Structure 1
Amino acid sequence: MAGLKETYHKVYDELQGVGIKQFSCAHSPSKRYLFMITYIIESMNSCLVAVQKLPITAMAECIRDLLQKWFYDLRTNASEMSTYLITFAYEHIKDRTDIAQRCEIHLIHFNKFKVDDKWKKTTVDLDESSCSCRE
């Protein structure tokens, strides 16, 4: 951030205005979207360690082969899927749906609800995006 402040102070000021928790995984209070973000270059570097010392044309051919295999595998997996969601997301939603179906929901006031299940009773406020269970 110090380097950014020295080089691009307008960008630095803009990011500070947004708040560091909005763009920094290290400062985020929780994982976003249930996974931590990694960059594709990290994956590429780990796959290309063995070919980094090859001549550039041979290395480019290896990169092309690797990407072609990745896209083929992704396309094949996608064509075999029975849902529009990836398996992880589908299972997560299915688990949450099963839990939700066991709950009784009672309206308290417009966007405020009491949710009862076998183990706990909570209050959910949609306006405040809060829940008494703090989840």
Structure 2
Amino acid sequence: MAELKSIHPKVYDELVKAGIQKFSRVHSPRKRYHMMITNITESMNSCLFAIRKLPITSIAEFIRNLLQRWFHDHQSNARETPTFLTNDADQHIKERVLESQRCEIHPIDFNRFKVEDQWKEAIVDLEQRSCS
């Protein structure tokens, strides 16, 4: 960002004004997991390979349509997600919840619990955030 600011201060100002959390995973208030494309160049190259010999106006129109469809699909996917998590993360949590329902939990004191399932047992300490 410092390099961008020194080269194109107006672009830097516009990005900051738009909100860094919108384009930076580090500053995002939510965990995005695999929803964000990390290598846009490779994605675009694979999509544009077949049309490289077309006139530039046709290529520009194709790119506009492609990006419009991508943004629409991602927004639709995000709207249909019932939680702040991605579908993969939500499914992972659901599986863990099902696994946890097979456990027996015995309180030791207010913060510690003995957790047993068919194969093992452990002591969970909520205050220390630890599990044996």
What TM-score do you get using the length of structure 1 for normalisation? 0.51
C-alpha distance in 2 between matches for 1:95 and 1:73: 26
Partner residue, 1:17:
none
Partner residue, 2:71:
71
1:65 is matched by which residue type in structure 2?
Answer: N
Unaligned runs of 5+ in 1: 1-32
SS in 1 for 2:97: helix
Structure 1 residue 114, shift from structure 2 partner: 5.2
Structure 1 residue 56, shift from structure 2 partner: 2.7
Structure 1 residue 105, shift from structure 2 partner: 4.8
What TM-score do you get using the length of structure 2 for normalisation? 0.52
Structure 1 outlier segments of 4+, above 3 Å? 104-108, 111-115, 122-126, 129-132
Partner residue, 2:9:
none
2:45 is matched by which residue type in structure 1?
Answer: N
CA deviation map 1:24-71 (0-9, x unaligned): xxxxxxxxx68xx85222222111111222233321221111000111
Q: Counterparts of 1:71-90 in structure 2 under 5 Å?
A: 71-90=71-90
C-alpha distance in 2 between matches for 1:46 and 1:83: 32
2:101 is matched by which residue type in structure 1?
Answer: Q
C-alpha distance in 2 between matches for 1:68 and 1:92: 30
Specify which structure has the bigger relative contact order, considering alpha-carbon pairs within 8 angstroms and separated by 6 or more residues: 2
Unaligned runs of 5+ in 2: 1-32
- From the superposition, tell whether residues 130 and 42 of structure 1 become closer, same or farther in structure 2 (CA, over 3 Å): farther
Q: Once the two structures are aligned, what percentage of the paired residues are identical?
A: 61
SS in 2 for 1:70: helix
Aligned residues: 99
1:45 is matched by which residue type in structure 2?
Answer: N
Partner residue, 1:61:
61
C-alpha distance in 2 between matches for 1:99 and 1:81: 23
Q: Alignment RMSD, CA only?
A: 3.5
SS in 2 for 1:48: helix
